[in-house]
Amino acid sequence: MFETFDPDLRTSIIGFVSGLLGALVIFIKRILDKVADRLFEPKDKVLEALNVGKLVKDSLESLRTEWNADRASIVQFHNGGYFSNGESMQKLTITHEEIGPGVNPLCNVIKNVPLTNALWVGDLLQGKSIAKVDNIQDVISRTFLEEFGVKSIIGCALKKNDKVIGMVMLHWTNHNTEFDDESCNKLSEQCKSIPVLLNRI
């Protein structure tokens, strides 16, 4: 069909179409580059931590309200220096906390506490609740909790790849609370998504 056209016109048309196709390819490439940049750009760690922190806050407040607790907190375990024999110290720190009206926060107080001074943690991690803090036999643990007005406490372990990374604790400061046999299992089930959130901070 092009044989009937003037050779110069044919060359012009082919050049024009080729130019359009080239411009279209460049345009599409630029769009794809922008899409790729948005999809794969490194996330702002500060903003990500704040966004995930808000989700954790909402989860804790929901737990506190549902259980009618005075304080809900997340404790995370970490190393905190070394003993003279080279072994690392195991410590705990409250990293997230929600409190009811008139309840003092503990997040600024319970930082870098050696696990050896908080033996009650072991009971909570094993799925036990403490209905009456003043019945705790270990004097250090009882004094530690009484100092912060804790009358009853329940908690559950937070795990990542079957390794304990922390726990959720609910405190009652205004009255003692009774727990049934399923209480710890119920709390553990409600907290299943929290380790996933903590992993994103």
Residue recorded with tokens 């922390």 = 166
Number of domains in the chain: 2
What mean pLDDT is predicted for residues 118-137? 90
Four-residue CA torsion sign, 155, 158, 162, 163: negative
Q: What is the pLDDT of residue 179?
A: 93
Q: Is the pLDDT of residue 2 over 50?
A: no
Which CATH number goes with the domain that contains 155? 3.30.450.40
The verdict on 58 and 27 lying in the same domain is no
The verdict on 21 and 88 lying in the same domain is no
Report pLDDT digits (tens) over 70-89. 999 999 999 888 888 888 88
The verdict on 34 and 54 lying in the same domain is no
Q: Which of 23, 150, 146 is nearest to 99 (CA)?
A: 150
Q: Which domain holds residue 8?
A: 2-40
The verdict on 80 and 160 lying in the same domain is yes
Max avg pLDDT among 26-30, 150-154, 193-197: 150-154
Which carries the bigger pLDDT value, residue 107 or residue 12? Answer: 107
The verdict on 75 and 29 lying in the same domain is no
Which carries the bigger pLDDT value, residue 127 or residue 99? Answer: 99
The verdict on 86 and 123 lying in the same domain is yes
The verdict on 128 and 160 lying in the same domain is yes
Question: Is 177:119 a contact under the CB 8 Å cutoff?
Answer: no
The verdict on 56 and 135 lying in the same domain is yes
The verdict on 142 and 183 lying in the same domain is yes
The verdict on 123 and 26 lying in the same domain is no
The verdict on 6 and 101 lying in the same domain is no
Cα separation, 22 vs 92, in Å, equals 62
Residue recorded with tokens 């909402």 = 58
The verdict on 103 and 182 lying in the same domain is yes
